[in-house]
Amino acid sequence: MSPRIALISATPAAIPPAVAALATGFPQAQPWNILDDRLLADVGEHGRTPALDDRMRRLIGYAITGGADGVLLTCSLYGEVTKQVDAPIPLLAPDEAAFDDALSSGHSRILVVASLASALSDSTARFEQAARENGAVVEIGGVLAPDELVETCRASAAGWDLVLLAQYSLAPAAEELSAALGVPVVSGPRSAAARLRAVIGE
C-alpha cells in the first residue's frame, strides 16, 4: 500500500512544488493536501501567535488521525511548530532536510533566496541557528527577489557557492537558477521528498 504523505500548506502556491517533488523523489508516496489559506495571511497581519501555532498543531493532529504515514509542512514560517508536536510518524519542517543538505554539501558560502521579506528573514535566522547547532562554519547571505528571480540572483550571487531557496513556491525555478548561476541550488521540496523516502521506505 502506498504511503500517504500529508502536505500541510498555508498557501496554494506551495502545493504544486511539493507534489511534484514527491512524484520525482518519492514516487511511491500518495500526496494528501491539507490547506489553510489564511495561515500565511494571518501571520502577515498579527505575526505568528500562539493561536496560529495551535491551528497548525490541530492540522498536524488531523493528518495523523486521518492515517498519514508522514507529514510535511510546506510553509517555512510554521516550521518551528514541528518541535511542539510529539508525532508518532515522521513529521518534517519545510526546510529541515534542505538545511541539512546545504550544511553537509561542503560549501562554505551559502546564499538564501526568497521572494518575501518575512520569509527571507525567518529562513536566514533559522538557517544560521541550524548551522550553529551543527557546528558548521559557513558564511550566510540573503537576497530578496520579489520578481525576476534569475536576473536578481545573477546580479547578487557572485562569490557564493550554493543557493538555498527559502520558499516552496520558488522550487520550480531551481534548475533554471542553477544553470544560470553555475552553482548548486537546494530546494525544500526536493530535499524533503528524499528525506521522507529515506525514513519511511518504499
Cβ atoms of 119 and 142 within 8 Å: the answer is: no
Beta strands in 16-120 (DSSP E): 30-35, 70-73, 91-92, 109-114
The pLDDT score that the predictor gives to residue 109 is 96
Task: State pLDDT tens for residues 154-178.
Answer: 888 888 999 999 999 999 999 999 9
The pLDDT score that the predictor gives to residue 202 is 62
| Distance from C-alpha of 63 to C-alpha of 65, rounded to nearest angstrom | 6
Could you report how far apart the first and last alpha carbons of the chain are, in Å? 10
Instruction: Please give the CATH number for the structural domain made up of 4-94+191-201.
Output: 3.40.50.1860
Instruction: Please give the CATH number for the structural domain made up of 96-186.
Output: 3.40.50.20
Task: State pLDDT tens for residues 130-153.
Answer: 999 999 999 999 999 988 899 999
Boundaries of every domain in the chain: 4-94+191-201, 96-186
The CA angle 33-36-39, to the nearest 5 degrees, is 135
Give the number of C-alpha atoms closer than 13 A to the C-alpha of residue 165, restricted to the C-beta side: 30
Contacting residues for 49 by C-beta, under 8 A, at least 6 apart: none
Task: State pLDDT tens for residues 59-96.
Answer: 999 999 999 999 999 998 898 899 999 999 999 999 99
| pLDDT bracket for residue 183 (50, 70, 90) | very high
| Distance from C-alpha of 76 to C-alpha of 112, rounded to nearest angstrom | 13
Query: The pTM is what?
Result: 0.91
Averaged confidence pLDDT in the chain: 94
**Cell triple for 115:** 521572494
The pLDDT score that the predictor gives to residue 36 is 97
Task: State pLDDT tens for residues 26-68.
Answer: 999 999 999 999 998 898 777 889 999 999 999 999 999 999 9
| Distance from C-alpha of 199 to C-alpha of 20, rounded to nearest angstrom | 19
Count CB-CB contacts under 10 A for residue 3: 18
